[in-house]
Chains A and B, each alone.
Chain A
Amino acid sequence: MIDAEPAASAAPEISSIIALGDDETLTPIDPRDIPVTRIGYAIMMVPLIIGTMVLEIAQLTIAGIFIVPALILSVYLIFIFPPRQYRRWGYHMGSDRIRIVRGYLFYSDTVVPFGRVQHIDVSQGPVERRYGIATLTLHTAGNHNSSVPLPSLAHEDALALRETIRAHIKRDTL
């Protein structure tokens, strides 16, 4: 399933979208990121909700002092945050480098030249696999940014990107 050689045209189309005051247009990540992130946060919040419910039922403290903030946080993380986070992700494949942009409050804009990539991971968690998306991780030799993740790409796109980048590593050395 991994070793399929995708055609070059299978590479994701650089179409739009996020204008960040720079000359390049960034490709958004796959919208299936939103449900996957939601499920991730939902799973994360389960222990917290159970814990606060136990406290609530035991009536040790003022009613609602823990469960109300926990519920608010859950609603925010599950319903409001994922689409916002999704909109802040973007990448741009250049001819010799990849640029990965993310975050709003904590914004970061990383450029990794293909010639500096050590090895490449394409990984999928169970939820990601169900939705058909994958995370592409580039490893560099630098201490900072020793691994640069690009989450939520369509699985075929992640594989195509990997092939493209790997082909550059080959070509650059010749």
Chain B
Amino acid sequence: MNDECIVEINGLWTCFGETVVHRDIDLSVHRGEVLVLVGGSGSGKTVLIRQMLGLETPTRGEVRVFGHSLQAAEPAELARTRNRWGVFFQGGALFSALSVFENVALPLRERRQLDEEMIRDVVVLKLEMVGIEAKHANKMPAELSGGMVRRVGLARAIALEPELLFLDEPTAGLDPDRSEAVVKLIEALHRELRLTVVLATHDLDAMVALSDRVAVLVEQRLVAVGALSEVVAKEHPFIRNFFLSDRGRRALQAAKEPLPGIARA
């Protein structure tokens, strides 16, 4: 891991009318790391991710991805940047009119350089990686279970071999088994493709398993950014509630390194 910044957020404010969602946020994501963005429901995680994707413009401040400012980027430059990242949306956001295969093939087809056989192989490979068998490839998204929709969404997100992967709540609404499978999958993808991952979640187990660094978004601010052990040591009511509750302690016992105040399982 080196210190090259893939995503940089400087002095970001978001206001919806009178409501302030983000107040003066600074955050940087380094190459090769998994940054987990945690915070309660409605704390603005999804909005922050959407701003990193250029889908929403912050009221004030700047978001730079791969060194380019998203706000000032030319359309062509923005399109180039967008080809370097993969995005997984909360609900999967599969194209409901296209089959599973076509969903994953779509970003590849858009590039217009690859022949059909190569596209087929890449799609089958990506589906294989997320554990979707080839026989499901012709199904429509409406015929899939929630877990499968997520896995196909992930396959589509990594179809273009992105350097940067945004994941918004990849485990929300899954049973613990499936949720663990998705976490393992993200872990494996991160290891094999050496991706930079930005992950928004309030799933403690996913956070413990995946995070290199954790950013805690509470009451419009980032109250703590750092390795899990540093964040847990911070004195803040939300952090104490979130990490050091009974449920939090159980999840933290699975951490890779010993954490202050947490007994190892």
Task: Judge: A and B partners, yes or no.
Answer: no
List A residues at the B interface (Cβ < 8 Å): none
List B residues at the A interface (Cβ < 8 Å): none
